[in-house]
Structure 1
């Protein structure tokens, strides 16, 4: 809603841009009523600002007189529908021909009006009109998603092609009787908002996106640290249990000095890291050295648990391993 309100206030710099945007709005939301040789046109939209833009463009470009009807939605708290109706009048058929809705002979033109899309400024305006007529962009606090909905498969292909001209690889999916042209990459959505002229919405989107990305990064770091901490705690508990097995079977005092020292430190400091254990040894020992000795203790405990005969040669001195 915020994005559409902003885009509804954006005015194309040239007459051709305004014409292209009005053509897109009518292509997306318009319906013709034909009674004999009389033609009327209705454009329906859920946004009041968009309806006002249709009225203004129609009057400024073609001097068209319009009527406005508001249909209130009471079920499920849905938005009102604003119906801009253009009753039969001589200027209407000329307008429809100019907008590429009708051919010169009065027959219908179903394709996108290529004659209005020769300039880049006009393509930007047409894309803005398409979005105002059937587009939406979600809050980037959730998943990134911008979509444009149309009931015409050929028009969906044309919209996708228009986005691709701006380097935006849009995709198409079907949803019941509708065709959905969408972008899911955050960078592409930001670029699309920029192309249409929604600069304020773009900045708000970027701020929310950066906050979300930072929050996710922090969560990943916290989860990683938590996982590492859990591994450290589990390893320390296993090491302490194995040392108790050794103490109950052969006694820690029977171990070589290098293993006895690290075993006693682990029992006294069950929460200490390998680095901290190494710094408490005399002389200090690095993490890999401490880990090597604890692995030796693990192997001794495994053999004792398996019931294998095991003897530990008592070594004198202060060998590293």
Structure 2
């Protein structure tokens, strides 16, 4: 199971035992997805979403918060256009409950410290997006109201969660691309399994990136060694090696015999062994002698 589906499945399975926390999550869902409409002098609360699992959770939470009333019906809708596809809609007939709902909605925004992360779980379930972590890190919460967006952003920052705000396609979006922030948010809204998997993916990605950097570095070092070796061999082939002092002759012959060896490896082949720095100094001395034409050129 990929991490996005795991997060959805885990969040949908969370039903708080504490009624206050359950009410906070319900308010988050209503703020994020609920639409209040009046039909035949009756108020209706509508929720429309492509994920039937979320619709089922909404019905479950509503029953626990409001004691099973009011009545509801579920519709399957086929939409066309940009947001095409199959959608599900649950329609709650509020009756007099709409007045209480209005009061509760205003109270929930002004008192986020009471069950704040349960409220955020509801908001995320209703309008959240979690990008594929194998490609990039991004978590979003889409909101229709700027007032709610600003209040939630203030709460998040009070919890040291570095979210930012933007406006796109008539929606206010709270988002973060910081993996530390995303992991903390996921853990705070109760998705422990997803949090642990995310930590595992982050560790694997960091290891892979480190390995890639090491391979690139080693490849670059090898390419430099080969290029230097070829350049030096060309110079050595132009001179009479027997005219070199013993120490320089030894390193020159080793370089000719071992074109891919590193300076450190060449130094170990000398008798007695010498350091990498000393091997470089001897080879560089030969280069300077060739360049200054101080040696017999063939």
User: TM-score by structure 2 length?
Assistant: 0.89
Residue-by-residue CA offset, 1:35-73 (whole Å, 9 max, x unaligned) = 575322211222222211211222222222111112235
Q: Is the 8 A contact 2:15 2:22 kept in 1?
A: yes
User: Any conservation in 2 of the 1:64–1:92 contact (CA below 8 Å)?
Assistant: no
User: Where in structure 2 are the equivalents of 1:207-226 lying within 5 Å?
Assistant: 207-226=200-219
Other-structure match for 2:248: 259
Alignment of structure 1 residues 74-93 onto 2, 5 Å:
80-93=86-99
In 2, the alpha carbon distance for the partners of 1:226 and 1:218 equals 12
SS state at 2:237 partner = helix
**Residues 112, 158 of structure 1: 8 Å contact kept:** no
- The number of aligned residues is 290
What secondary structure is seen at the aligned counterpart in 2 of 1:217? helix
Partner residue in 1 for 2:104: 99
1:1-321 equivalent positions in 2, closer than 5 A: 1-35=5-39, 37-62=41-66, 63-73=69-79, 80-94=86-100, 96-100=101-105, 113-115=109-111, 117-119=112-114, 122-245=115-238, 247=239, 251-304=240-293, 310=294
Deviates more, 1:218-227 or 1:74-83: 74-83
> Greater shift after overlay, 187-196 or 45-54?
45-54
User: C-alpha distance in 2, partners of 1:191/1:113?
Assistant: 22
Structure 1, gaps ≥5 residues long = 101-108, 305-309, 313-321
CA contact (8 A) 1:5 1:50 kept: no
Closer, same or farther: CA 297–76 of 1 in aligned 2, 3 Å: farther
Counterpart-to-counterpart distance in 2, 1:284 and 1:91 = 90
Render the CA deviation track for 1:83-140: whole Å, top value 9, x for unaligned.
Answer: 111135233433x13522xxxxxxxx5x85324x342xx1111010010010121232
- Match of 1:262, SS state, is helix
Offset at residue 222 of structure 1 (A):
1.1
Q: Which runs of 5+ in 2 are unaligned?
A: none
SS at match of 1:283: coil
- Structure number with greater Rg is 1
SS in structure 2 of the partner of residue 72 of structure 1: strand
Q: 1:77 to 1:97 in 2, by over 3 A?
A: closer
Distance 1:91 1:177, change over 3 A: closer
SS at match of 2:71: coil
Which secondary structure state, in structure 2, belongs to the residue aligned with residue 113 of structure 1? helix
Q: TM-score, normalised by structure 1?
A: 0.83
Q: Structure 1 residues 170, 77: CA separation in 2 closer, same or farther (over 3 Å shift)? A: closer
Aligned-residue offset at 1:197: 0.5
SS in 2 for 1:179: strand
Is this contact kept in 1: 2:25–2:118, CA < 8 A? yes
